[in-house]
Amino acid sequence: MSKINPAIIEYVEAHIIPQYSQFDRAHNLGHVHKAIQNSLEIASEHAVDINMVYVIAAYHDIGLPQGRKEHNKHSAAYLLADEKLQDWFSQAEIKIMAEAVVDHRASLEYEPRSIYGKIISDADNDLEYMSVFTRCLQHGLAHFPHYDKDTHFERIVEHMHDKHGEDGYLKTWLNSEHDKRGLGEIRRKLTLDLDGMREDFERLWEMESF
């Protein structure tokens, strides 16, 4: 963070990041801060503009109130419409940032158009095991409130197999140390430690907030 323009940080922290406090628990303040942290960690392995990396991460889910299905496009439109960014970035840079925001979704069928899109796509996955597990439960509670406890657990395991397993649909683009470390732990849990996953689930379930 020390290398990022302080004026950009001040604006983003005052006007952009607080909006995440109104989003569901899988996309709240904790998520955007983690996406920023992951983005900066991955970016440290590449020759990129760290100010652009920071802004992309901060804006990547800002369009959620307009609908989850195309939130990446809504988020990009919000970034393009924010005239304050013209104080620090050229139109070409803003276009690259908007494209990166569009390209961050894990389910897209094409490769992100720039390294910035690859960074935020990989960062948004947040492949730390407990982060993935917690977000899966948060998503389930928000979107499937009628599920009973056991069904929530079964949905998490099935989803993580489908997305993060050896044959899962998740794509990682930059093979960063961040991703290799996290994905290895998730796959170890799925194949060797379902009892441990159940214990993690029970601990989360009993917590009042997570």
Regarding whether 77 and 147 lie in a shared domain, the answer is no
Contacts 24+ apart (CB under 8 A), 149-153: 149/205, 152/201, 152/205, 153/198, 153/201
Q: How many structural domains are present in the chain?
A: 2
Query: Other C-beta atoms within 10 Å of 118: how many?
Result: 22
Specify the pLDDT at position 27: 83
What is the DSSP track for 115-131? Answer: HHHHHHHHHHH---HHH
Per run of 10 residues, the mean pLDDT along the chain (length 210 residues) is 92 97 85 94 95 98 89 96 98 98 85 96 89 90 93 96 90 87 93 95 83
Tell me which DSSP letter residue 107 carries: T
CA dihedral 4, 6, 11, 16 (to 10 degrees): 30
| Range of the structural domain that residue 16 is part of | 6-111
Examine residue 183 and state whether it is found in any structural domain, yes or no. Answer: yes
CA dihedral 169, 170, 172, 176 (to 10 degrees): -130
Regarding whether 63 and 137 lie in a shared domain, the answer is no
Tell me which DSSP letter residue 141 carries: H
Regarding whether 104 and 158 lie in a shared domain, the answer is no
Regarding whether 154 and 79 lie in a shared domain, the answer is no
Regarding whether 103 and 187 lie in a shared domain, the answer is no
Specify the pLDDT at position 28: 87
Q: How far is CA 132 from CA 31, 107, 189, in A?
A: 11, 16, 12
Examine residue 116 and state whether it is found in any structural domain, yes or no. Answer: no
The pTM score is 0.80
- Farthest CA pair distance, the chain: 53
Q: What is the CATH number of the domain that holds 14?
A: 1.10.3210.10
How many distinct helices (H) and strands (E) make up the chain? 10, 0
Regarding whether 105 and 133 lie in a shared domain, the answer is no
The dihedrals phi and psi of 195, each to the nearest 5 degrees, come to: -65, -40
Examine residue 119 and state whether it is found in any structural domain, yes or no. Answer: no
Examine residue 25 and state whether it is found in any structural domain, yes or no. Answer: yes
Q: Domain boundary at 79, 111, 143, which?
A: 111
Q: What token pair was written down for 161? A: 């197999």
